[in-house]
């Protein structure tokens, strides 16, 4: 079966009912639902299924609030060269292409990604590499997009080799959804392409629900881990997908069992047409506080908010210190309070 890419295809699979607003939702962002993700959806109630909710267009996408932005985390304001986003002195993003195996309806680059989306030409990639090469303070490059694993293994290997040859780079990081949504793409050839000769390569896996960690996905992650590639997990906190403590608990445990260290739990960005996915910061903090009493540090992600305008991520997890004139009041993971000398 092929990836579903149209409203008609989704309707034939029983994943949505006709609604005149869906045409506008589909125009605002490309559709792609892989067979692997389709197989995980509960067809009896797709409107409330956490997998379908991530990929199937909704009429709610046509509702745009004044606070929502076309460039919610300020990529354009921090892009000195095409394909580069440079927010922090020692690290930057390199976006070689804007194609993905699936299109998540909450994506903060939803107005940029899709079939026909811009990919860097040879000259543009050369200019981006020159930008990195000319700045010795850059220690880490994060390959994102789009999904960098949509590059052919040969092209990916060539790009990694070019980055590896830049002596001041210590870390190359790849962010990808491929092992989750299209695990068969993680072939021996692809894993071999990820081998770095000098710089350390880290791999960020985007996963939002434990159900996404199918047998095929866990096998794909094992191929990466067995090759010595350290894996870390990124999750977006999404209403109707994972905004309850039991679901997050199951997800973080499943990631650790798959040798993926939970890294970030992202507060949802102010993306146009995504209000139906958004939760309050207070809700997120309460969930993180609940997880602290249930999971070891190995399974704890950092709850972060990407400050609109290109100002970067900040941790926004719950606080555990209270005021007292003579001592700190420390709250433990189970709600108890304890005095600690200043």
Rg of the Cα atoms in the chain: 21
Catalytic residue among 21, 91, 155, 261: 91
Residue 70: count of CB within 10 angstroms of its CB: 11
For residue 119, give every residue at least 6 positions away whose Cβ sits within 8 Å of its Cβ, in sequence order, or none: 96, 97, 98, 99, 146
Catalytic residue among 5, 223, 294, 313: 313
Catalytic residue among 49, 104, 211, 289: 104
Catalytic residue among 49, 147, 182, 306: 306
Catalytic residue among 53, 78, 109, 289: 109
Peptide bond into 286 cis (omega under 30): no
Pick the closest to residue 303 from 263, 253, 255 (CA basis). 263
- 211 an active-site residue? no
d(CA 247, CA 8): 31
H or E element: which one contains 88? Answer: strand 84-88
What pairing do the DSSP bridges indicate for beta strands 200-206 and 231-236?
parallel
Q: In the structure encoding, which two tokens stand for residue 330, read together?
A: 């420390």
Q: In the structure encoding, which two tokens stand for residue 73, read together?
A: 């985390």
Catalytic residue among 88, 135, 155, 259: 88
What pairing do the DSSP bridges indicate for beta strands 321-322 and 327-331?
antiparallel
DSSP state of 300: P
- 207 an active-site residue? no
- 107 an active-site residue? yes
Catalytic residue among 107, 131, 173, 292: 107
- 342 an active-site residue? no
Helix residue ranges per DSSP H, the chain = 7-12, 22-28, 35-38, 50-55, 122-133, 153-164, 178-181, 188-193, 215-226, 245-257, 281-292
Pick the closest to residue 295 from 335, 253, 328, 254 (CA basis). 253
- 53 an active-site residue? no
- 100 an active-site residue? yes
Q: Give bridge partners of residue 142 from the DSSP assignment.
A: 93, 173
Catalytic residue among 53, 78, 87, 278: 87
Catalytic residue among 78, 95, 100, 289: 100
Catalytic residue among 269, 278, 292, 303: 269
Q: Which amino acids are annotated catalytic?
A: 87-88, 91, 100, 104, 107, 109, 269, 306, 313
């Amino acid at each position: 079966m092929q990836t579903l890419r149209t409203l008609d295809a989704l309707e034939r699979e029983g994943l949505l009912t006709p609604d005149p607003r869906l045409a506008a939702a589909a125009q605002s962002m490309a559709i792609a639902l892989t067979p692997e993700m389709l197989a995980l959806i509960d067809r009896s109630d797709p409107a409330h299924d956490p997998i379908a909710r991530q990929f199937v267009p909704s009429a709610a996408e046509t509702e745009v609030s004044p606070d929502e932005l076309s460039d919610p985390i300020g990529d354009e304001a921090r892009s000195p060269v095409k394909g580069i986003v440079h927010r922090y002195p020692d690290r930057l993003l390199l976006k070689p292409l804007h194609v993905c195996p699936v299109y998540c309806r909450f994506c903060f680059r939803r107005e940029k990604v899709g079939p026909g989306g811009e990919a860097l030409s040879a000259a543009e990639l050369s200019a981006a590499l020159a930008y990195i090469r000319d700045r010795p303070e850059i220690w880490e490059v994060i390959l994102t997009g789009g999904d960098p694993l949509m590059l052919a293994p040969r092209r990916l290997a060539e790009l990694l080799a070019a980055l590896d040859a830049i002596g001041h780079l210590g870390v190359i990081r790849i962010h990808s959804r491929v092992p989750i949504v299209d695990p068969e793409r993680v072939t021996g050839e692809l894993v071999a392409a990820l081998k770095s000769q000098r710089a350390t390569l880290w791999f960020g896996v985007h996963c939002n629900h434990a159900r996404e960690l199918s047998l095929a996905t866990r096998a794909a992650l094992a191929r990466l881990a067995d090759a010595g590639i350290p894996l870390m997990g990124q999750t977006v906190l999404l209403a109707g997908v994972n905004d309850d403590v039991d679901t997050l608990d199951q997800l973080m445990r499943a990631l650790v069992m798959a040798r993926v260290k939970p890294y970030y739990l992202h507060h949802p960005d102010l993306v146009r047409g995504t209000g139906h996915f958004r939760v309050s910061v207070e809700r997120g903090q309460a969930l993180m506080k609940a997880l602290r009493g249930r999971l070891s540090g190995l399974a704890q992600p950092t709850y972060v908010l990407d400050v609109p305008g290109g100002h970067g991520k900040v941790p926004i997890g719950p606080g555990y210190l209270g005021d007292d004139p003579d001592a700190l009041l420390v709250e433990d993971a189970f709600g108890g309070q304890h005095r600690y000398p200043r």
